[in-house]
Amino acid sequence: MAIADFIDHTNLKPTATIADIQKLCEEAKTYGFYAVCVSGCHVPIAKKALKNGPVKVAAVIGFPLGAMSTKAKVFEAMDCIENGSDEVDMVINIGWLKSEMYDAVRDEIKAIKQAIGDKILKVIIETCYLTEAEKEKACVLAVEAHADFVKTSTGFGSGGATFEDVKLMKRAAGDKAKIKASGGVKDKETAQKYIELGVSRIGTSSGPNLIK
């Protein structure tokens, strides 16, 4: 597989304009990226721009803090799917995880997965704020809740993906969930290293630079 097949071409900037999202979609089509990753309000624009093509639309929910109510996250996820999103990237409730409210974290992920049915769910654990034990526990909870992916980062925290975190997540999730590395992946060599480590998806706003 080519690097393009792994890329979720991303623009989650609060300043992203309609023109920016349309440009993102055009680049995704040009380079053959797997998906675009956008904020919920941009899902209809992205869906229209990518109509009848192979590029998927992924939407973020509970983004970037993960601290919304479960009910709000479930509604947001369903709204994104109804508007044409193929995939959902959710942020876990980091405070709950750190409070050892494991049932609440698991139940929230499970509720979102059930709400979106057979659509892909990626669970962002925001590794930069977690201890090694918390990263491992977050992956286990995501697997128990039947998430499709565990994802390193929002790109809005104090740090992004690292090779060490991906190795840990791979060990914790085993073959029960795929891994998405996101945050700070800006060159081809880094992307290739993540692919060698076993990630199935890379979230980056630098997609065209990775291909050129």
Domain segments of the chain: what residues?
3-211
% of the chain at pLDDT higher than 70: 100
Residue 164: half-sphere exposure toward Cβ, Cα within 13 Å = 6
Contact between 10 and 203 (Cβ < 8 Å): yes
| Token pair recorded at residue 99 | 């409070």
Q: Given the residues 151, 165, 170, 178, select the one marked as catalytic.
A: 151
How far apart (Å, rounded) are the C-alpha atoms in residues 211 and 189? Answer: 11
* Predicted confidence (pLDDT) at residue 168 exceeds the cutoff of 90: yes
Is 89 assigned a catalytic role?
Answer: yes
Confidence of residue 1 (pLDDT cuts 50, 70, 90): confident
Confidence of residue 170 (pLDDT cuts 50, 70, 90): very high
How far apart (Å, rounded) are the C-alpha atoms in residues 177 and 148? Answer: 5
Mean pLDDT, range 93-109, rounded to an integer: 98
Q: Which CATH number fits domain 3-211: 3.40.50.11060, 3.40.47.10, 3.20.20.70, 1.10.599.10?
A: 3.20.20.70
Mean pLDDT, range 137-147, rounded to an integer: 98
Q: Which residue has the tokens 């989650």?
A: 12
Q: Given the residues 8, 86, 89, 165, select the one marked as catalytic.
A: 89
Is 187 assigned a catalytic role?
Answer: no
Classify 20 as helix, strand or coil.
helix
How far from chain centre, in Å, is Cα 190?
18
Q: Report pTM.
A: 0.97
Is 151 assigned a catalytic role?
Answer: yes
How far apart (Å, rounded) are the C-alpha atoms in residues 157 and 27? Answer: 26
Provide the phi-psi class of 118: left if phi over 0, else alpha when psi is between -120 and 50, else beta: alpha
Q: Given the residues 56, 110, 122, 180, select the one marked as catalytic.
A: 180
Q: Considering the chain, what is the average pLDDT of its residues?
A: 97
pLDDT of residue 212: 81
Mean pLDDT, range 7-23, rounded to an integer: 98
